[in-house]
Amino acid sequence: MIDQQTINQIFETADIVDVISDFVTLKKSGTNFKGLSPFSNEKTPSFMVSPAKGIYKDFSSGKGGNVVGFLMEHEKLSYPEALRYLAQKYNITFEEKELTAEEIQQKNERESLLAVTDFATKYFAGQLMGEEGKAIGLSYFRKRGFRDDTIQKFQLGYSPEERTAFSNEAGKNGYKKQYLVSTGLSIERENYLFDRFAGRVIFPIHAISGSVIGFGGRTLKSDKKIAKYLNSPESDIYHKSRVLYGLFQAKKAIVSKDQCYLVEGYTDVIAMHQAGIENVVSSSGTALTTDQIRLVKRFTENITILYDGDEAGIKASFRGIDMILEEGMNVKVVMLPAGEDPDSYAMAHSSTEFLEFIRSSEKDFISFKTEILLSDAQHDPFKRGQLITDIVKSVAVIPDGIMRSVYLKDCGLLLGVEEQVLYTEVNKIRQQKQEQNWRREQSSQRNQSAAQAPASPQQPLVPAFVENIYSEVEEREIIYFLLKFGNKILHLGGEENTRISVAEYIIREIQNDELEFNNLVYKQVFEDVKMLIESDKELSERHFIYHDNAGVRELAVDIFTSRYELSNVWKRKESYVELPGENLGYEVPKSLLSYKMMVVEKALGQLRADLDKAEKKNELEELNKLILRIQSLGNVKIALSKGLGGRTIIR
């Protein structure tokens, strides 16, 4: 147990921005800090940290709390574990009584597993310095060129040849069999335990917080029947698809350099660290996963993959790198000289030489992939066709349109294919994927929106395939309500107890449909309002009237001082006697419905034009797709029209 005085000291000392920055890249945003949510995959930062209040709030998931609460939520630590983590980080000494075997038994499952891995880490490190460990394990690390400080930094160790040595020692120290087995450190056979990693050098695997959650063990025997490497099995604390080896030691360097190097093995990471290149991680020889990619993305969007020249291995990794591209990251590739890997190259060169080699050798992945596959295709038309298809699929996953355009231009030159042909294929792939995503997600999005939203006039969802459609008049209408009445409370659907502000309602509806304002000033106002709402700040006229963007200042002054003129939304045959703002529960939803109606009508116009072209070219597949989309948008238009009282917007 930790005494209350120490707990108070921990809370007084811990800097929430400093702590959370170990897990999330934060940027100053007014008096607060903002970053991408560590609890969900998002493109627009909605994770806010308030140093003044000592709290965080994640608007994408709804999670929030103080610094201890963050560690408990993010790292799945217990309350005492989170306090111990902070005490260690800030060098706060405290006395905590030694736990008895009975007390260890009473700990919760996760804490017990972490206690076992912590014990094992210290045990293996101690064994490395024993007689057997020095002769076998330490000798191996010395041959790899690892210094004592490097060995300590990564907590490297050794597990004795005696098959029950660790299990027996853990049992003597009060650690229960179920936790030894659950962590995979021990294997149970016929009512006795033996050690999984017996006779192996040990590489502890750390969570991003620094806790050891698993182990990698390498045999030093030449017997081909024995697996060279063994890893801990999946457990409640270790999920290999969500962990990158070395990230705990690398995260600060990754942030400061705004760059991450990805290598294959444990020793590659360690050797590069020792050479002075610390912003490096490894997927530990497993196929790269989306969760691992997003771990890196928390700290940087720039990733460089180092290959040892094995062409078969490179081709096998193409799928994983397409996943990196799909996350919107900037991917570079470096091929090391023949016979070299990051480990050997780092040992033979200084960090300056290694970094200079990387700078002079790295290529963007699309060009690299084209060159690799082109060497196979040669003059075979069929293989060249497959190559083009493969490259196009990679480009198609890139979310940024400008980057897709740049890559397609380069690929067109490399492949000798007209750029427009590549564009057509990419667009076809992206449209098919959007269609699939829309069909799959439409139902769940509607259900989620209905569950979260207060009772209000139904706002039909605009399908995901509707992109880059804008409507200036309706955009200004929405911005008017956002600025003029953003703080006002809406009472929707006749439920007087349902409270949501005008600003919160508008932000929710625009984001639900993934719509964007074309007018950059309107877009800036929308983002500012969203930021203020997320920061729990009241919207003030002063914020916009004294804005550093001249366009925003002019718009704000115009809206706050001019007499509001009704747009075509409100000009209808029946008289409208209420002034804007007198019935916001009616006006705001109608303005949004009108905006969506204009977007849908413009999208329908484009689809019909595309349909005419497809009919003339007799493109049956394209015709069927366009007809389905027109039908889908037609249904949305009917729903919007009902919400608008059966009216069509007159321009």
- Of 213, 277, 201, the residue nearest 244 (C-alpha): 213
Question: Beta 330-335 vs 64-65: how paired, if at all?
Answer: unpaired
First-to-last C-alpha distance (Å) of the chain: 71
Model pLDDT, residue 130: 94
Annotation: CATH topology of 105-238: DNA primase DNAg catalytic core, N-terminal domain (3.90.980)
Model pLDDT, residue 644: 63
Question: Beta 363-364 vs 302-307: how paired, if at all?
Answer: unpaired
- pLDDT band of 309, cuts 50, 70, 90: low
Model pLDDT, residue 313: 62
CA 502 – CA 254 distance, rounded (Å): 41
For the chain, percent of residues with pLDDT exceeding 90: 24
- Per mean pLDDT, which range of 186-195, 283-292, 574-583 is the poorest? 574-583
CA 334 – CA 332 distance, rounded (Å): 7
- pLDDT band of 145, cuts 50, 70, 90: very high
* pLDDT tens track for 587-619: 888 888 888 887 778 878 888 887 777 777 777
Given a cut of 70, is residue 574 above it in pLDDT?
no
* pLDDT tens track for 384-420: 788 788 888 888 888 888 888 888 888 888 778 888 8
- Of 183, 219, 214, the residue nearest 199 (C-alpha): 219
CATH architecture observed for domain 242-361:
3-Layer(aba) Sandwich (3.40)
Model pLDDT, residue 158: 97
Q: What is the DSSP letter of 137?
A: I
Burial of residue 102, with CB atoms counted within 10 A of its CB: 0-12 exposed, 13-18 middle, 19 or more buried: exposed
Mapping DSSP onto H, E and C, the string for 583-614 reads CHHHHHHHHHHHHHHHHHHHHHHHHHHHHHHH
Instruction: Cite the residue boundaries of each domain of the chain with CATH code 3.40.1360.10.
Output: 242-361
CA 581 – CA 566 distance, rounded (Å): 12
- What b/e sequence results for 547-569 when a residue is b if at least 16 CB atoms lie within 10 Å of its CB, and e otherwise? beeeebeebbeebeeeeeeebeb
Instruction: Cite the residue boundaries of each domain of the chain with CATH code 3.90.980.10.
Output: 105-238
Half-sphere exposure of 184 (CA within 13 A, CB side): 16
Model pLDDT, residue 354: 93
Model pLDDT, residue 637: 76
CA 502 – CA 489 distance, rounded (Å): 6
CA 628 – CA 613 distance, rounded (Å): 16
Helix spans in 1-144 (H): 4-13, 16-20, 67-75, 79-89, 101-106, 109-128, 131-133, 139-143
Model pLDDT, residue 242: 87
Which DSSP string corresponds to 209-246?
A: TS-EEEEEEEE----TTS-SEEEPPP-SS--GGG--BT
Q: How confident is the model over 569-573, as a mean pLDDT?
A: 43
Q: How confident is the model over 557-575, as a mean pLDDT?
A: 53
Instruction: Cite the residue boundaries of each domain of the chain with CATH code 3.90.580.10.
Output: 4-89
Q: What is the DSSP letter of 136?
A: I
More confident residue, 347 or 546: 347
Mean model confidence pLDDT for the chain: 80
Model pLDDT, residue 452: 45
Given a cut of 60, is residue 230 above it in pLDDT?
yes
* pLDDT tens track for 463-521: 555 566 666 778 888 888 888 888 888 766 544 445 678 888 888 888 776 677 777 88
Model pLDDT, residue 457: 44
- Of 503, 506, 450, 461, the residue nearest 643 (C-alpha): 461
CATH number of the domain located at residue range(s) 4-89 in this protein: 3.90.580.10
User: Is the full-model pTM beyond 0.75?
Assistant: no
* pLDDT tens track for 510-556: 877 667 777 788 888 888 888 888 777 778 887 887 777 778 877 88
Model pLDDT, residue 270: 96
More confident residue, 220 or 316: 220
